[in-house]
Amino acid sequence: MRTALLTGFGPFPGAPVNPTGSVIEAVKAQPPEGWRIETLIFETTFASVPSDLDNAARTLSPDLVVLTGLAAEAQRIRLEVRARNAVLPGRPDAAGRCWTPGPIEPGGPEERRTRLDLDALAEAVKAAGADVEVSEDAGRYVCEFTYYLALGRFSAPAVFVHLPMTGTPGAALTAAEAADALRAVIAAAARFTR
């Protein structure tokens, strides 16, 4: 049996409710066949993410890492191709702290890219019934910060999945549809690693 680490985030300024935690817990409760799911909910802070990632990398040794974040304005799921070694300064995290101008990892590569074939994963998500797009912009906030660090800390393939808001009137997806889309990503990932 393979192990997938699924991560989500807590609330942050502008999003007092972040559905990623409940969505990944739903996937854990009903994982894709052949997979065991471990979950981790990050505080949406620049200070806490590095140690949480280090601890997960040290203790879990997953076969796949699927990080999720909320893109409240999005109308479809976004599969993120890359993470840049930069965060936009001036946007406070959940602790009210802003990123200091400069790279995430001084001396690190300008960007890190997933090893997964995101076009193939997008087809799997579409087959699960959700609208999806492949994106080159992970947002330059705590999501991009986390993705950049994860791509450098785990030997397993990793992907960041931005979910639209779920569970509210007019939402692009229900929480159940978002969970089905994540199950499709996990099930397809083993076949589409580059």
pLDDT tens per residue, range 43-56: 999 999 999 999 99
pLDDT in tens, 111-135: 999 999 999 999 999 999 999 999 9
Pairing of β 2-9 and β 35-42? parallel
86 touches 140 (CB < 8 A): yes
pLDDT at 146 over 90: yes
The mean pLDDT of 87-111, rounded to a whole number, is 94
Q: How far is CA 79 from the centre of its chain?
A: 9
pLDDT digits 0-9 by tens, 16-25: 889 999 999 9
Q: Which residues carry out catalysis?
A: 80, 143, 162
Is pLDDT above 80 for 13? yes
Contacts (Cβ under 8 Å, ≥6 apart) of 179:
23, 24, 26, 27, 30
The model's pLDDT over 55-73, given as tens digits with 9 standing for 90+, comes to: 999 999 999 999 999 998 8
145-154 average pLDDT score: 97
What mean pLDDT is predicted for residues 70-94? 94
For residue 105, give the DSSP letter.
S
Give per-residue pLDDT as tens, 160-191: 999 998 877 778 889 999 999 999 999 998 78
Q: How far is CA 46 from CA 33, 41, 83, 93, 182, in A?
A: 34, 14, 15, 7, 25
| Residue-level pLDDT at 193 | 57
